[in-house]
Amino acid sequence: MKLRRLLIIMCLAISLIPIAMISGLQGFQIASMFLGLILVITLAVGFLISHFISMPIVKLTKNIDEISKGNLDVELEKSEIYEINNLTASLDRVMTSLKLAINKVGLKKEEIFIEAVKAKEEAEANYEVLLKKIDGWIWEIDEKGICTKCSAKVAGTLGYSPKQIIGKEIFRFLPPEDANKFKDIIHVMSDQKTDTTNKLDLYWMNQDNTHPVWVRSFCIPVFNSIGNFQGLRCFSRDATEYQVAETHIEELQIKLNETYKQLHEILRQQPKGQSLIEPVFDTTIKQEFDYMILFDENAKIIDCTNDIQKKLGYNKDEMLSLTFADVVYLETHDEIKANLDEIKKLGTMQVKTIHKKKDGSSVFVSEQIKYLKDRNMFICMVKEDTM
């Protein structure tokens, strides 16, 4: 409420006191005769008092606004009100100190404010560029789940404009089950009172309400100075491709586990001199990896797939005369043996490294190495890494 209105209302409230006194002494009929006169006088007095008090404050506010724009030569008018006059004097001392500081560093005051405004404008421009370049959208909600900010990129995933989302409960844009799940997660984050980033995978409804969209969000809870939960700041993007890839990885892992079991049986039954790997891996597995190498705890290569020649140039017979250390470019035999001891403990390990080709060149690869405990051997499945 504005100060002027507050003062007028206070004066009107005070005017009821004499009316009540007259009514008590002379009766309500006589009091009502003076009611209009008292109200008119009270309104006039209230307006004069409010004008007398509020005008210096209005002028001081305008002066401060001019100072914030870089005008340090503003003349601050004195007031008849003691408290406002003290505030004006304090502000005048601050301006004087600021002028002295500016003179000491040898800058013009205009340069400081211009640079500040320029830096602010550049920061805002860079932020807008960032919002346009990132593959996703940024949004914020308050402690009640009301969206307070949303970038334009939301339209590319859900079809909504920011105006259609800002000011509304964010939960209404999720299917009921995921909305309830999101509320529970927010409740947990608000209780934990830590500003760590939380990854959330939830379905969101698109604007046409035709199908849910799998969205991955990274949210940071916000707390005020006394630890009260204030909402979330989030970055989200369409994660449909992630979901498909993760499902494919899970299916592939199931196939690999089945393959490992088959390999164990082959190792027990396979006659000497025949391949231990080729009969085991089906077409799907071979499409996921470029070649595979089987070696013992001393890193001596025992077997490999025939397609290794396409990638490294060695034929199968040449590979069987090598150790795994001869293939790995950056690690010594002792370092590889140390890694194998670690793999024995973990069961499996995924690493990125460099493999050496027969012609001396190299290729970046991703390895998935698994320890075959019952045979004390290791199988390394290799995929070329495009970096």
User: What is the residue-level pLDDT of the chain in tens, covering all 387 positions?
Assistant: 455 566 666 666 666 666 566 566 655 556 566 666 666 666 666 666 666 666 777 777 777 676 666 666 667 666 666 667 777 777 777 767 666 666 655 555 555 555 556 666 665 565 555 555 567 888 899 999 999 998 888 888 888 998 999 999 999 999 999 999 999 999 998 888 887 888 888 999 988 877 788 898 889 999 988 889 999 998 888 887 766 656 665 666 666 666 656 565 655 555 554 455 555 454 444 456 888 898 998 999 988 888 888 889 998 889 889 999 899 887 888 888 888 988 898 888 888 888 999 888 888 888 888 888 877 889 888 888 765
User: Which residue from 185, 186, 159, 153 is spatially nearest to 173, judged by alpha carbons?
Assistant: 159
> Quick one: pLDDT at residue 1?
47
User: Which residue from 349, 348, 386, 383 is spatially nearest to 366, judged by alpha carbons?
Assistant: 383
d(CA 344, CA 340): 6
- CATH T-level fold of 135-238: Beta-Lactamase (3.30.450)
Report the SS3 class of residue 99.
helix
d(CA 139, CA 154): 9
Report the SS3 class of residue 88.
helix
> Quick one: pLDDT at residue 52?
67
d(CA 311, CA 30): 111
Q: Which amino acid is at 67?
A: I
> Quick one: pLDDT at residue 332?
85
Q: Do domains 135-238 and 267-384 have the same CATH topology?
A: yes
d(CA 197, CA 243): 20
d(CA 43, CA 62): 27
Report the SS3 class of residue 328.
strand
> Quick one: pLDDT at residue 303?
87
Instruction: Note whether 313 and 323 are within 8 A (CB).
Output: no
Cα–Cα distances (Å) from 225 to 148, 192, 222, in that order, read 20, 15, 10
d(CA 345, CA 297): 13
> Quick one: pLDDT at residue 284?
45
Report the SS3 class of residue 339.
helix
H/E stretch holding 101: helix 82-105
CATH architecture of the domain formed by 267-384: 2-Layer Sandwich (3.30)
366: β partners: 352, 383
d(CA 379, CA 254): 16
Segments making up each domain of the chain, as ranges: 3-105, 135-238, 267-384
